Amino acid sequence: MNITKEQIDELNAIVTVAITKEDYHEKVEKILKDYRRQANIPGFRKGHVPMGLIKKQYGKAVLVDEVNKLLQDNLNKYLTEEKLDVLGNPLPKQQDNFNWDAEEFAFEFELGLAPDFEVPLKSKKAITHYKIVADKKMIDEQVERIRKQYGKLKSKSEVGKNDELNGTFRNEAEEIENKTTIELDKIKSKKSKSLLEGKKVGDVVTLKTKDLFSEDYLLSSALGIARDKAEKLSIEVEFTIEEINERELAKMDQELFDKLFGKDEVSSEEELKAKIKTDSEKQFEQQSDQKLLNDLTENLIENTKFELPTEFLKKWIQMTGEKPLTPEEAEDEYEKSEKGLRYQLIEGKIIKDNNMDIQFDELKEFTKDFIKSQMAQYGQTNPQDEELEPIVMRVMSNQDEVKRLSEQLMSQKLLNLYKEKANLKVKEVTYENFVKEVYG
């Protein structure tokens, strides 16, 4: 067997695999002899069927199968040994005069080669890295929510300014009938609020859904309908008041602090607010980091210049899907996937240049930390290693979980590298201003 490569240009090559009779003859003969021993053909005793008949019946199929096995095994071995960084898979070239009755065969494959390029991690223009801070307003609102959540309900006979109402929303035409609880301080419409104030249990109030609540998501929850339907809804609904409650705020005392954080972890209002600030800003880091990762990805794609074997890739997309595509469909698919392919190459280059391959021990440690964080959400804040070990091994025996966690770990490693080497400018913002700047 002989394999040769013809370089067409920097991004395209043709590999020719030449197979002679000596490469496959012995294996084909052995398989046909096995067939002969096992064959049950009328008119012949088992094991005594003439070899000529066996070859006539099975010879071509066995030959094709064995040559294809030889072809794939040796082509893959060649690509590995020659360290050819190919995109997609080798594509067999059409050979109109190919003849399986010949004793020697030559197969040609088109290769699309990955480009050689450098990744400019430090861009000329600085990229904004948002540091989201919890301001006084946010902390005070969180304290208010906590005091409400742990406060006591006091039944009332008449609706006041900041009461909670249990009742049922109805609209027959829209098939709405939903029991819910609404808080008057979450009602945005002044008219709607005034209609409710002073009402008693059993009263029915007609309200307009448009701009009813201060937060859009509250309408879908209150009416028991899908979010997308609620966003477009502008109707009148009847609300029947079934219960009126005033919520007395919980006292800011040690009993409340212990409920929130465990015994004696927090012992004053100042410590509570400091804890809320720290915990909130830690949660905000995930959103800030995701925004930074998205911006850096876009920046790298835009500023890392290299050519791709475009025509090869379009042909590969056209031929290797579940069903063959037209040239126009392949063109469309290529345009959709080009950006993602470019970033895959860029990310692979960064990982290789910075020796960032994931090792088993660090993936195991990352998995353990992930499980500990999950357990902490359910109150298990300090699990022992002997308790964690079987859970870690069970998770790591699942290939899908390993893939997902490996991707998360690599994203974290890349983010740490970018924070160290990229041209970043830190900008402190409140969460409210972060949302305005990032999401408009």
pLDDT attached to residue 381? 66
Domains and CATH numbers, the chain: 2-113 (3.30.70.1050), 152-248 (3.10.50), 267-439 (no CATH)
Spatial contact of 178 and 229, defined as CB atoms under 8 Å apart: no
Helix (H) or strand (E) holding 54: helix 51-54
Mean pLDDT lowest among 303-312, 378-387, 390-399? 378-387
pLDDT bracket for residue 373 (50, 70, 90)? confident
Sign of CA dihedral 38, 43, 44, 46: positive
Sequence-distant (6+) residues with CB within 8 A of 383 are 372, 375
* pLDDT tens digits, one per residue of 262-302: 888 899 999 999 999 999 999 899 899 999 999 999 999 99
| Cα 174-180-183 angle, rounded to 5 deg | 115
> If you average pLDDT over every residue of the chain, what do you get?
91
Spatial contact of 157 and 201, defined as CB atoms under 8 Å apart: yes
Q: How far apart are CA 222 and CA 169, in angstroms?
A: 8
pTM greater than 0.85: no
Residue 4: strand pairing partners = 16
Looking only at the bridges linking them, the beta strands covering 424-430 and 236-248 are unpaired
Higher pLDDT, 330 or 386: 330
* pLDDT tens digits, one per residue of 132-165: 999 999 999 999 999 988 999 999 999 998 899 9
* pLDDT tens digits, one per residue of 398-424: 999 999 999 999 999 999 999 999 999
Q: Looking at this protein, which amino acid is placed at residue 379? A: G
* Tokens linked to 292: 């930074």
Q: How far apart are CA 9 and CA 308, in angstroms?
A: 12
* pLDDT tens digits, one per residue of 305-328: 999 999 999 999 998 878 889 999
Say how many C-beta atoms besides its own lie within 10 A of residue 405's C-beta.
Answer: 19
